[in-house]
């Protein structure tokens, strides 16, 4: 089949990647008859074995999907809900019924005691269709208010790289630096650790991944980077 | 464009496939044109145009003014258009918006490029006093294709215009009782086509404009050359569609030239 | 507007700046030049210097402007007062208002608007120095800025103006040719599809010249399209090179 792009090549909107019906396509791609085009400025991955072509955007805003874990910031306290900024063109809504597992009666003044303007939450998108704002929940375990740690914002398109294949990248960061890391699909990452110096190394590592996200061999380079930073830390103390 | 318009588009497209439009016209058929000049007594020239149900009035006022610095011995032409609420529910009261301005500038460019009015004959005292021609276009009822209708109205009003004769004695300007027509070099017509799906139609109605992907206007002079082009709307045209549209516009222009008042004969 | 005495060609058939009829001016495009914008681009084409910033998609403001099924594009073309010889007042002129509209309509067909319903995308164009062909240069830069913002697009949009001087068709009009020539025909195209999104003309063109104008424009469009691609890929390809060198 005619292929016009190479695996891991940078592509621009409208760039012709291949001409075939026999491949599955994923990500920011559109088809016209047999022709496969990129929709965005991104990286194209061509897997000849799995017969799969995928374009990962290099930039772009976060558009919510049901089931996404996101890190949001409360910007308004309403009568029965909170408005939450999730770093997206769409503002999200957290209903009071999505806070507690048991049905509870809460007055408005108590709402701000639970979550006030400026609070950071780890939430899950429970619904989003294009006619209304995304709805969130913090009912499940591992969701809720974040009270400490550092928040890093990265382009949402880089999130898969921070996670790595089957979590390999983020697990490496967690283990090497003894920190808890929660990655929001919306490009916000929370790093919580006991040692602030190690929290900072985690942030630097995340920034490095962001910058080199489209390159190969990144996991090894990040490992080496962290080892060096830890050594510097050890030499200081 | 909401759900309702999407349904309308389906209906319109189904008709176009069969070569029919909702008002019974063929794809390349123009609506009936009626032009009445001398409609407004206080204007030096005026015309009321009916294009189907679209109604546009244009008035020409003449005044003495100063020339532009880089053309000291040429008259000045100013075209203005106002899409007033009287004409359509879609026009809001207020200062001119982008559509009013686009309409005025498209009509102005067509006339100017063709030199419809011979500006070089409008100097009174070269370098300081020249005739200023104000063309004001007011659509009164909007059923599509305001550009072509406005073009016919503006051109007809210019052809209808009677201006005073200026006499200059020792830097003093006196206007005689005699009136003469504007010096017209050529007449200009505008032909607008719209693209709906894969179909090109001529002279769209308001409804057709709502569902159209884009429109294309050609301004044509009496030499049958193109003296203005404007693509509008959020869609696109293939190059061959543009060349096809150009051919159609030149054919349609013939009928419009016949409707226009004749050029004033030099006495 | 004609002026006696200004020659737009010399005896060798070269234009006022030494070009042949089918040559474009030196061009330079850079993507991602502004820190605050979601996407940005800068173009130099001859003496033209134009900066474009894209913000969005973001919440529509005011809310009632939002469309339920697609993004709304807001485009503002503006010329800086010092961009032209006779200082231009900062107030938006009728020309700037019309150009803002036609430029918006030149970019819209290329964007997958349905991917961002109820949002707004802002395209702000600032002409810092003008020398003929600003609207087409703006479109060329704006589509780079939109791609730089990560917005889904069917294709880039590439634009150039064809003109007429002393009866000959020329490509990429400079300021003098725009002012004293016999016609100006700006064209914008989605290059992979050969679909025209901006098409205007003033002056006089024969029907045959219009056909020829498209042929003349296509070489120029190819060159500019390559520059657009280069500008977008440059930053990332440099990082790849850097990384490969350190290993």
The residues spanned by each domain of chain B are 3-259
Specify the number of domains making up chain A: 3
Out of B98, B113, B229, closest to residue C199 by CB: B229
Does A12 contact C247 at a Cβ distance shorter than 8 Å?
no
Whether A75 has its CB under 8 Å from any CB of chain C: the answer is no
**Structural domain contains residue A1:** no
- A124, A146, A168 — which closes off a domain? A146
Q: Give the chain B residue whose CA is nearest to the CA of C104.
A: B234
How many Å lie between the alpha carbon of A208 and the closest alpha carbon of chain C?
Answer: 11
CB atoms inside a 10 Å sphere around CB C211: 15
- A134 in the same domain as A97: yes
Q: Which residues of C touch B232 (CB under 8 A)?
A: 102, 105
Task: Name the residue among B208, B218, B212 with its Cα closest to residue B198.
Answer: B212
Summarize pLDDT for A134-159 with one digit per residue, the tens.
999 999 989 999 999 999 999 898 89
Model's pTM, two decimal places? 0.93
- A133 in the same domain as A89: yes
Structurally, what CATH architecture does the domain formed by C27-237 represent?
2-Layer Sandwich (3.30)
Whether A85 has its CB under 8 Å from any CB of chain C: the answer is no
- A81 in the same domain as A51: no
pLDDT band at B170 (very low <50, low <70, confident <90, very high): confident
Query: What six digits make up the tokens of C38?
Result: 């979601």
CA distances from residue C229 to A4, A5, A55, B139, C9 in whole angstroms, order as listed = 15, 14, 16, 45, 33
Q: Which residues of B touch C210 (CB under 8 A)?
A: 226, 229, 242-243, 246
Position C246 scores a pLDDT of 61
Position A216 scores a pLDDT of 84
**Structural domain contains residue A3:** no
Per the omega criterion (within 30 degrees of 0), is the bond before C57 cis?
yes
Does C150 contact A157 at a Cβ distance shorter than 8 Å?
yes
Q: Which residues of B touch C95 (CB under 8 A)?
A: 105
- Per DSSP, the three-state class of B136 is strand
Cα gap A65→A69, rounded to integer Å: 9
Are A and C neighbours with ≥3 CB pairs closer than 8 A? Answer: yes
Chain C interface, mutation test: which of B79, B194, B234, B248, most C Cβ atoms within 10 Å?
B234
**Structural domain contains residue A19:** yes
- A99, A120, A146 — which closes off a domain? A146
**Structural domain contains residue A161:** yes
pLDDT band at B1 (very low <50, low <70, confident <90, very high): very low
List the domain range (segments joined by +) for residue A91: 69-146
Q: Dump the DSSP string for C178-202.
A: HHHSSEEEEEEEETTTTEEEEEEEE
Position C3 scores a pLDDT of 54
- Whether residue C4 is predicted with pLDDT greater than 70 in this model: the reply is no
CB atoms inside a 10 Å sphere around CB B68: 11
Summarize pLDDT for A42-71 with one digit per residue, the tens.
999 999 899 999 999 988 999 999 999 999
- Whether residue C2 is predicted with pLDDT greater than 60 in this model: the reply is no
> Percent of chain B at pLDDT above 70?
98
Cα gap B75→B67, rounded to integer Å: 6
ipTM entry:
0.94
Does C190 contact B236 at a Cβ distance shorter than 8 Å?
yes
Per-chain mean pLDDT for chain A: 91
- Whether residue C194 is predicted with pLDDT greater than 90 in this model: the reply is yes
Task: Name the residue among B214, B196, B213, B194 with its Cα closest to residue B204.
Answer: B194
- A163 in the same domain as A139: no
Summarize pLDDT for A65-101 with one digit per residue, the tens.
999 999 999 999 998 899 999 999 999 999 988 988 7
Out of C118, C119, C149, closest to residue A59 by CB: C149
Cα gap C113→C120, rounded to integer Å: 10
> A114 with A99: CB under 8 angstroms?
yes
Position C11 scores a pLDDT of 85
Position C1 scores a pLDDT of 47
pLDDT band at A108 (very low <50, low <70, confident <90, very high): low
Does C205 contact B225 at a Cβ distance shorter than 8 Å?
yes
The CATH number assigned to the domain holding A14 equals: 2.40.50.100
Summarize pLDDT for C86-109 with one digit per residue, the tens.
999 999 999 999 999 999 999 999
How many Å lie between the alpha carbon of C94 and the closest alpha carbon of chain A?
Answer: 32
- A83, A117, A146 — which closes off a domain? A146
The residues spanned by each domain of chain C are 27-237
Cα gap C166→C169, rounded to integer Å: 9
Position C5 scores a pLDDT of 67
Q: Which residues of C touch A63 (CB under 8 A)?
A: 115-116
Of the options 3.90.580.10, 3.30.230.70, 3.30.70.2740, 1.10.10.920, the CATH number for the domain spanning B3-259: 3.30.230.70
Q: Which residues of B touch C214 (CB under 8 A)?
A: 239, 242-243
**Structural domain contains residue A2:** no
- Whether residue A209 is predicted with pLDDT greater than 70 in this model: the reply is yes
How many Å lie between the alpha carbon of C232 and the closest alpha carbon of chain A?
Answer: 7
The CATH number assigned to the domain holding A197 equals: 3.30.1370.10
> C123 with C52: CB under 8 angstroms?
yes
């Amino acid at each position: 089949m005619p292929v016009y792009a190479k695996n891991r090549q940078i592509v621009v909107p409208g760039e012709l990647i291949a001409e075939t019906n026999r491949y599955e396509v994923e990500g920011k791609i559109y088809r016209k008859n047999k022709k496969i085009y990129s929709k965005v400025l991104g990286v194209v991955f061509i897997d000849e074995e799995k017969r799969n072509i995928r374009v990962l955007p290099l930039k772009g805003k976060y558009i919510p999907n049901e089931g996404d874990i996101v890190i949001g910031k409360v910007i308004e306290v309403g009568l029965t809900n909170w408005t939450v900024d999730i770093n997206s063109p769409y503002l999200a809504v957290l209903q009071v019924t999505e806070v507690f597992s048991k049905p509870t009666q809460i007055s408005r003044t108590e709402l701000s005691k639970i979550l006030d303007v400026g609070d950071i939450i780890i939430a899950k998108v429970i619904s989003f269709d294009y006619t209304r704002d995304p709805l969130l929940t913090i009912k499940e375990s591992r969701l809720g208010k974040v009270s400490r740690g550092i928040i890093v914002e990265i382009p949402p398109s880089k999130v898969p790289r921070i996670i790595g294949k089957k979590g390999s990248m983020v697990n490496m960061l967690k283990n090497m630096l003894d920190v808890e890391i929660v990655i929001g699909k919306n490009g916000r990452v929370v790093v919580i650790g006991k040692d602030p110096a190690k929290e900072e190394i985690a942030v630097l590592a995340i920034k490095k991944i962001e910058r080199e996200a489209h390159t190969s061999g990144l996991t090894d380079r990040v490992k080496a980077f962290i080892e060096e930073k830890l050594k510097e830390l050890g030499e200081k103390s | 464009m909401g759900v309702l318009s999407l349904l309308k588009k389906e209906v319109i497209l189904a008709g176009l496939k069969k070569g029919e439009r909702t008002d019974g016209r063929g794809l390349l058929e123009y609506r009936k044109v009626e032009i009445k000049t001398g409609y407004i007594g206080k204007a030096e020239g005026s015309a009321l145009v009916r294009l189907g149900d679209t109604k546009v009035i244009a008035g020409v006022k003449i005044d003495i003014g100063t020339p532009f610095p880089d053309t000291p011995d040429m008259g000045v032409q100013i075209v203005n258009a106002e899409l007033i609420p009287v004409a359509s529910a879609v026009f809001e009261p207020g200062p001119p918006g982008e559509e009013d301005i686009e309409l005025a500038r498209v009509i102005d460019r067509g006339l100017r490029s063709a030199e419809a009015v011979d500006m070089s004959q409008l100097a009174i005292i070269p370098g300081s006093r020249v005739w200023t021609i104000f063309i004001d276009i007011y659509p009164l009822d909007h059923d599509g294709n305001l550009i072509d209708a406005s073009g016919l109205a503006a051109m007809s009003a210019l052809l209808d215009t009677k201006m005073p004769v200026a006499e200059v004695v020792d830097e003093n300007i006196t206007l005689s009782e005699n009136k003469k027509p504007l010096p017209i070099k050529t007449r200009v017509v505008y032909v607008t086509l719209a693209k709906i799906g894969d179909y090109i139609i001529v002279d769209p109605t308001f409804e057709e404009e709502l569902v159209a992907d884009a429109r294309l206007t050609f301004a044509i002079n009496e030499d049958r050359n193109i003296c203005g082009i404007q693509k509008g709307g959020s869609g696109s045209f293939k190059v061959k569609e543009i060349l096809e549209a150009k051919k159609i516009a030149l054919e349609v222009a013939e009928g419009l030239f016949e409707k226009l008042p004749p050029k004033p004969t030099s006495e | 507007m004609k002026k006696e005495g200004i020659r737009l060609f010399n005896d060798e058939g070269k234009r006022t700046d030494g070009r042949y009829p089918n040559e474009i001016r030196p061009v330079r495009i850079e993507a991602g030049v502004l820190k605050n914008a979601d996407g940005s681009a800068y173009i130099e084409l001859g003496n033209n210097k134009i900066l474009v910033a894209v913000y969005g998609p973001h919440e529509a403001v005011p809310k009632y402007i939002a469309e339920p099924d697609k993004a709304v594009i807001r485009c503002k073309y503006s010329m800086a007062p010092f961009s032209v010889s006779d200082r231009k007042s900062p107030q938006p002129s009728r020309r700037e208002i019309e150009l803002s509209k036609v430029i918006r309509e030149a970019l819209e067909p290329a964007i997958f608007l349905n991917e961002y319903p109820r949002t707004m995308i802002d395209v702000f164009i600032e002409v810092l120095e003008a020398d003929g062909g600003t609207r087409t240069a703006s479109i060329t830069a704006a589509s780079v800025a939109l791609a730089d913002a990560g917005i889904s697009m069917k294709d880039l949009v590439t634009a150039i103006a064809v003109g007429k001087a002393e009866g000959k068709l020329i490509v990429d009009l400079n300021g003098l040719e725009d002012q004293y020539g016999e016609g100006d025909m700006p064209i914008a195209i989605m290059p992979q599809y050969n679909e025209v999104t901006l098409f205007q003309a003033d002056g006089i063109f024969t029907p045959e010249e219009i056909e020829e104008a498209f042929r003349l424009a296509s070489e120029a469009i190819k060159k500019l399209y390559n520059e657009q691609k280069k500008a977008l890929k440059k930053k990332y390809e440099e990082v790849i090179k850097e990384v490969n060198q350190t290993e």
